[in-house]
Amino acid sequence: MDLATEARQFLRSTHKGILSTQSVRMSGYPFASVAPFVLDHQGQPLILISTLAEHTKNIQADHRVSLLAFTDADDLQAHGRLTLVGDAEQTDKEDPLLRARYLRYFPQAEQYFAMHDFYFYRILLREVRYIAGFGRMGWLQAEPMLSARSPLPAQEAGILTHMNADHGDNLRAYCQHVHGISASAVEMIGIDADGFDVRADQQVLRFNFEQPIQDAQGARAALVALAQACRA
């Protein structure tokens, strides 16, 4: 697997981030803060932040930011991490597709949408620095990290409803086959060009497709193929 593909899969697998902005209070110094994120369907990070927060004030003065994406690990330096460098742009928090997608990953954030001072910011990627582990790292352009526009965002909710209503057994089989996890409560919470996410007994598991998909038909073919692999 080439480094760009590995970096793209890594980014799709996590929602934990540290946002760095240029401090207004202390000019010239970086300011870091915790920033959970969800990717839009192109692969651009979305963060939900308050206008009262220090990092938002910094972004309003200088939109250049970086976001460090990482996963849970006992030894963080021995595992993958990804620094995304780009420009933060305010986005409509009432966009129904983005809002629904964000809340599936962070249902506890529902209360923030009722507050007038919280807004979505999308980080428009310029370059990324991926460290896969000791001795395997590099800078990457934004383009290979992003997915082409497709019908999938508008079809996502329908796919999730169908899978959760009619194919719970398949979701449990996916968890066992790919991750070796025997899950009781399962829910598909997101699907994108590169794969899908399942909340399995309170943990979110990532499943990568063999090839990128563009629409519901491609999703069906990929999910059927995975179900067949589970039974093989």
CATH number, position 197: 3.20.180.10
**CATH number for the domain harbouring residue 70:** 2.30.110.10
Q: Which of 124, 145, 166 is a domain's end point?
A: 145
Same domain, 157 and 124: no
Residue 132 lies in domain: 3-145
Same domain, 93 and 156: no
- For the stretch 93-128, pLDDT in tens is 889 999 999 999 999 999 988 888 999 999 999 999
3-class SS string, the chain: CCHHHHHHHHHHCCCEEEEEEECCCCCCCEEEEECCCEECCCCCEEEEEECCCHHHHHHHHCCEEEEEEECCCCCHHHCCEEEEEEEEEEECCCCHHHHHHHHHHCHHHHHHHCCCCEEEEEEEEEEEEEEEECCEEEEEECHHHCCCCCCHHHHHHHHHHHHHHHCHHHHHHHHHHHHCCCCCCEEEEEEECCEEEEEECCEEEEEECCCCCCCHHHHHHHHHHHHHHHHC
Same domain, 114 and 27: yes
User: Which amino acid, 224?
Assistant: V
Same domain, 181 and 134: no
pLDDT of residue 102: 96
pLDDT of residue 65: 98
Same domain, 107 and 8: yes
Q: Which of 96, 119, 145 is a domain's end point?
A: 145
pLDDT of residue 79: 74
When divided into structural domains, the chain yields a total of: 2
pLDDT of residue 135: 77
Same domain, 222 and 192: yes
What is the C-alpha separation between 42 and 31, in angstroms, rounded?
27
Same domain, 27 and 139: yes
Burial profile 172-183: b = 16 or more Cβ within 10 angstroms, e = fewer: bbbbebbeebeb
Written as six digits, the tokens of 49 are 């932040």
Same domain, 184 and 103: no
pLDDT of residue 75: 67
pLDDT of residue 74: 67
pLDDT of residue 119: 94
Flag residues of the chain having pLDDT under 50: none
pLDDT of residue 57: 96
Q: Which of 145, 164, 183 is a domain's end point?
A: 145
Same domain, 139 and 168: no
Which own/partner contact pairs does 184-191 have at CB distance under 8 Å and 24+ positions apart?
188/159, 188/160, 188/163, 188/164, 189/104, 189/105, 189/160, 190/38, 190/101, 190/104, 190/105, 190/156, 190/160, 191/152, 191/156, 191/159, 191/160, 191/219
